Amino acid sequence: MQGMSEKGAPQGGLRERKKRATRAALAEAAVRLAAEHGAEKVTVEAISAAAGVSVRTFFNYFDTRDDAFVVIDADAGARMRQAVLDAPAALSPLQALREALAAELAEAEQQHELWRLHAQVVHASPHLLVRTLGAHMADETGLAEAIAARIRAGGPTASVSPPAGATGEERRGALDLYPRLLAAVAGTAVRTSVEHWSARPEEAAFLDVFQEVFALLAAGLPAPPA
């Protein structure tokens, strides 16, 4: 769920916008070079030169070369977590998460080629794939924590609560399980949306596909008509 562009991020001050633009340029340069030459053959010097910055600047944004392939937007997770917490109280946890994800994915269609190249690069390098999966799992855990915090703060919980008459332990168990399940399902929903839209982009805009996927989740995944 990490974005590849600073375009969808909150604007912030000029300094922050420049920092996001530099990080995005470095990540894009890394991905494009790796897609052409293979990740193992791409150096920090080559990435920096392609992005028009110094090697020292590269290390202001990434701790290692591999981070440029994996940690595309270090602030995306924090933005999504804050968006979930700040969403209107009337929204259910699912609705709040959907809106947070939609904001991050607003530029998806413009970033389609880069996403495709990134997937190609990561899947061609087992150690990058493992690191990328780890980053996604960390994002998922963070989202689950934000969802749990939102519920504890008093947001709508009707869809979260166990049946009437449940014991206190059963209620606590439901509130522990629900955030983790919702965050995991949301990640799968995003991946499904991207894959479906990528296979047939002429049929609908990406965000329309994304909203349809979440509408199906909200409806309880009813079987399609025969």
For residues 62 and 75, give the distance between their C-alpha atoms in angstroms, rounded to a whole number.
13
Answer yes or no: are the C-beta atoms of 50 and 67 closer than 8 Å: no
pTM reported for the whole predicted model: 0.78
Low-confidence ranges of the chain (pLDDT < 50): 1, 5-11, 156-164, 170
Answer yes or no: are the C-beta atoms of 156 and 89 closer than 8 Å: yes
Answer yes or no: are the C-beta atoms of 69 and 31 closer than 8 Å: yes
Answer yes or no: are the C-beta atoms of 199 and 208 closer than 8 Å: no
- Side-chain-side CA neighbours of 98 within 13 Å: the count stands at 19
Task: Report the pLDDT value the prediction gives residue 38, as an integer from 0 to 100.
Answer: 94
| DSSP H or E run through 40 | none
Answer yes or no: are the C-beta atoms of 57 and 21 closer than 8 Å: no
Provide the residue count of the chain. 226
Helices (runs of H) and strands (runs of E) counted in the chain: 10, 0
Task: Report the pLDDT value the prediction gives residue 112, as an integer from 0 to 100.
Answer: 82
Task: Report the pLDDT value the prediction gives residue 221, as an integer from 0 to 100.
Answer: 87
3-state secondary structure of 90: coil
Phi then psi for residue 135, to 5 deg, are -65, -40
Task: Report the pLDDT value the prediction gives residue 97, as an integer from 0 to 100.
Answer: 95
CB under 8 Å to 220, separation ≥6 — which residues?
A: none
User: In angstroms, what CA-CA distances link 150 with 97, 153, 182?
Assistant: 11, 5, 13
Structure tokens at 133: 């999966």
What is the full DSSP assignment across 93-123?
A: HHHHHHHHHHHHTTTTTTTHHHHHHHHHHHH
For residues 31 and 114, give the distance between their C-alpha atoms in angstroms, rounded to a whole number.
8
How does pLDDT run across 168-192, given as a tens digit for each residue?
Answer: 554 555 568 999 999 999 999 999 9
| Residue appearing with tokens 């799968």 | 188
Task: Report the pLDDT value the prediction gives residue 46, as an integer from 0 to 100.
Answer: 98
